[in-house]
């Protein structure tokens, strides 16, 4: 492990302030260039493919975007357990996170009710020789400070700008979603 990471992990855990300063900006670009539901997302130097299930009109060549969101949540939680366990000097032999998203109202063609998750259930199994009290301390810390969990529990506002290239000239469209 690099010295800066080791140093950061050895620092005492501070309480999360009410308003944190802005952190780094993460970015992903997603492209759909065929008449299928297959997309290609570019994140840093990585390419991630998504598709839909046959029930939703896809060809089942890759995870669906909402499945990828669940996997990202599980990965974020597993990493958060590892990071905070190191800070607390706890040994973890295995962390397994299962995230199940219940879809609400969403089918193709679009339903009258909003699509997306109506609820998400998370089950985490940890194998560790550490005392139960210390593991509960770790679990509470992760529940409070996991960025992926917080992003889904308290979603940010989303501003969407839509630019349309067509034969006819079209203005730029803008829409906002979520809390203001």
Whose structure tokens read 């301390």? Answer: 137
Domains of the chain: 3-177 (3.30.300.20)
Give the pLDDT confidence of 137-175 residue by residue, as tens digits: 999 999 999 999 999 888 888 888 888 877 665 566 666
The predicted structure's pLDDT at residue 18: 55
Give the pLDDT confidence of 57-82 residue by residue, as tens digits: 899 999 999 999 999 999 999 999 99
120-143 residues labelled b (16+ CB within 10 A) or e (exposed): eebebebebebeeeebeebeebbe
Q: DSSP for 136-167?
A: HHHHHHHHHH-HHHHHHHSPPPEEEEE----S
The predicted structure's pLDDT at residue 108: 54
Give the pLDDT confidence of 77-116 residue by residue, as tens digits: 999 999 999 999 999 999 999 999 988 765 555 555 567 8
The predicted structure's pLDDT at residue 163: 83
């Amino acid at each position: 492990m690099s010295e800066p990471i080791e140093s950061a992990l050895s620092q005492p855990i501070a309480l999360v302030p009410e308003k944190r300063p802005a952190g780094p900006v993460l970015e992903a670009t997603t492209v759909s260039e065929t008449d299928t539901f297959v997309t290609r997302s570019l994140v840093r130097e990585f390419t991630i493919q998504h598709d839909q299930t046959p029930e939703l009109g896809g060809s089942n060549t890759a995870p669906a975007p909402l499945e990828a969101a669940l996997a990202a949540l599980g990965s974020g939680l597993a990493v958060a357990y590892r990071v905070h366990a190191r800070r607390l000097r706890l040994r973890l032999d295995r962390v397994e996170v299962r995230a199940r998203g219940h879809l609400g109202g969403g089918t193709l063609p679009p339903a009258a009710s909003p699509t997306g998750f109506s609820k998400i259930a998370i089950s985490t199994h940890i194998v560790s020789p550490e005392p139960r009290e210390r593991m509960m301390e770790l679990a509470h810390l992760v529940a409070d400070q996991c960025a992926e969990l917080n992003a889904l529990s308290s979603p940010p506002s989303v501003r969407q700008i839509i630019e349309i290239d067509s034969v006819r000239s079209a203005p730029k469209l803008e829409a906002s979603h979520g809390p203001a």
